[in-house]
Amino acid sequence: MDIRLRLSKITKTYPSVVANDGIDLDVRPGEIHAVLGENGAGKSTLMKIIYGAVKPDAGKVFWNGQEVHIANPAAARQLGIAMVFQHFSLFDTLTVAENIALGLPRNTRLDELGQRITSMARQYGLDLEPQRHVHTLSVGECQRVEIVRALLARPQLLILDEPTSVLTPQAVEKLFETLRKLAAEGCSILYISHKLDEIRALCHSCTVLRAGKVTGVCDPRQETAASLSRMMTGAEPPAIHASERVPGEKKLVVRSLSLPKSHPFATALDDISFDLHAGEILGLAGVSGNGQQELLAALSGEDTRAVADAISLEGVPVGRLNAAQRRAHGLGFVPEERLGRGAVPDLSLAKNILLSHQTSATVEYGMVKTAALTRIAGDIIKRFKVKAAGPAATAGSLSGGNLQKYIVGREVMRNPKVLIVAQPTWGVDVGASAQIRAELVALRDAGCALLVISEELDELFEISDRLMVIAKGRVSPAIKRSEATIGLIGQWMSGLWKDEGASQEAANA
């Protein structure tokens, strides 16, 4: 069988690390080929080399049997290569249609493109509004834009980096059907995911990377999740054992929280009520764009439009308090967007501590205690095994998974009474995901009340004590994990639940 893409001895070195070390990779027409590895293993660098965004220091790239030098992404697209990045390349001030048009011929008409976008999005179950500005989109909705943009190009090779993190289980299966159809039509697919079950269900072959080198090539359909994990990390991730827990006192109480849209494309919050208890993890599931962003903003203090007593923290009405005031009352939060919201890319890890640790330990009489920031940052790097050059490294220099571990660690080290976490392991490898989840469970066991907002149902079922769903700005009743099923939660994610269950949930609270 012909080889569509062949990489031979690809090497890329940066000042502090060898990202790719003599990598060989073959991808055939119609093949769905997984690339698996920990954060920092070299996957993203390798994909950027294929897409022309990074030039290799050594090695050769062959496309349909001919050696090529892919100078830039435009040249890659000309060859028939499309890529969906984990960190998106979208302009916030442009609309969805305008962003997609940037990669298309100059004579493309925006009105016709809008119709094509709508049709493509509907075909693949990815809801999009072509005229909506990107700055109003959630992370998950931005990913949908990238996926649709790639599919519109009808590529010969499609590179997908964590494409299912924004989808319901039903939509994941629909996307898989689409990818299988594309493969059957001859399109090659390079598929990067940390969801081992997805790789085993979808992919025909798998190349495993560790520390920039190929450590194995296999048929994932013949492997178990445990054996793939061993190839990737050298060990199996520790299991988290579920157990029934008796909830403690109410730490966060939300009653009849309703908020109109903050901008035309936002989701209005509609009569949201729930209780969060000490020593429990309440998991909130939902498809991206159903009000998660707006709820997090209302709970964290970024949006202070709520009635004061609509949100109570340990009995104190905080609906009108800002984020700093709520932190002073014991609230911690991790936003879904790492760079720009969770961390300042150009600041050092030490200075990023100030985003949440503004206490007498770090600031006194208006003066920043630099040594204290360096010590705290060093402790987080050590405890959470963050791969970084040290506290002086900039946040933007870290891989996505390592930055996520750092941001979660920064909040955990504050010992909050209530912690709200959005997408805790989005785009994070198996080992790092297990570590983050274990830290959240340990925080719960220490008495913290946690609200975990995630589109990863497996994650929520693994760590949550109770589960609820957000859809179209409304939340379902909360039910015990033991009473929930993937099918039921998937159904609720479409907004199909019985509101009368809320009264029973309130009685049990």
Whether residue 128 is predicted with pLDDT greater than 90 in this model: the reply is no
The SS3 call for residue 263 is coil
Which DSSP symbol is given to 354? G
To which CATH superfamily is domain 5-233 assigned? P-loop containing nucleotide triphosphate hydrolases (3.40.50.300)
Give backbone dihedrals phi and psi of 348, rounded to 5 degrees, phi first.
Answer: -70, 160
Distance from the first to the final alpha carbon of the chain: 61
Q: What are the tens digits of pLDDT across the range 380-413?
A: 999 988 988 899 999 998 877 789 899 999 999 9
Closest CA to 465 of 288, 279, 310: 279
Q: What are the tens digits of pLDDT across the range 322-342?
A: 999 999 999 999 998 888 889
Q: Which whole number is the average pLDDT over 73-93?
A: 86
How many whole angstroms separate alpha carbon 172 and alpha carbon 176? 6
Q: In which residue ranges of the chain is CATH 3.40.50.300 found?
A: 5-233, 250-508
- What is the DSSP code string of 439-457? HHHHHHHTT-EEEEE-S-H
Read off the amino acid at residue 482. Answer: S
Q: Which whole number is the average pLDDT over 120-135?
A: 85
Whether residue 509 is predicted with pLDDT greater than 50 in this model: the reply is no
* For the chain, percent of residues with pLDDT exceeding 90: 57
Q: What are the tens digits of pLDDT across the range 303-318?
A: 999 999 999 999 999 9
500: exposed, middle or buried (Cβ count in 10 Å: 0-12, 13-18, 19+): exposed
Residues 6+ apart with CB under 8 A from 340: none
Read off the amino acid at residue 189. Answer: I
Q: Which whole number is the average pLDDT over 265-283?
A: 95
Contact by Cβ (8 Å): 206, 228: yes
Whether residue 131 is predicted with pLDDT greater than 70 in this model: the reply is yes
Q: Which two tokens stand for residue 281?
A: 């993890």
How many whole angstroms separate alpha carbon 92 and alpha carbon 90? 6
pLDDT bucket at 499, cuts 50 / 70 / 90: low
Whether residue 172 is predicted with pLDDT greater than 80 in this model: the reply is no
Closest CA to 38 of 225, 192, 265, 220: 192
CATH of domain 250-508: 3.40.50.300
Q: Which whole number is the average pLDDT over 425-451?
A: 88
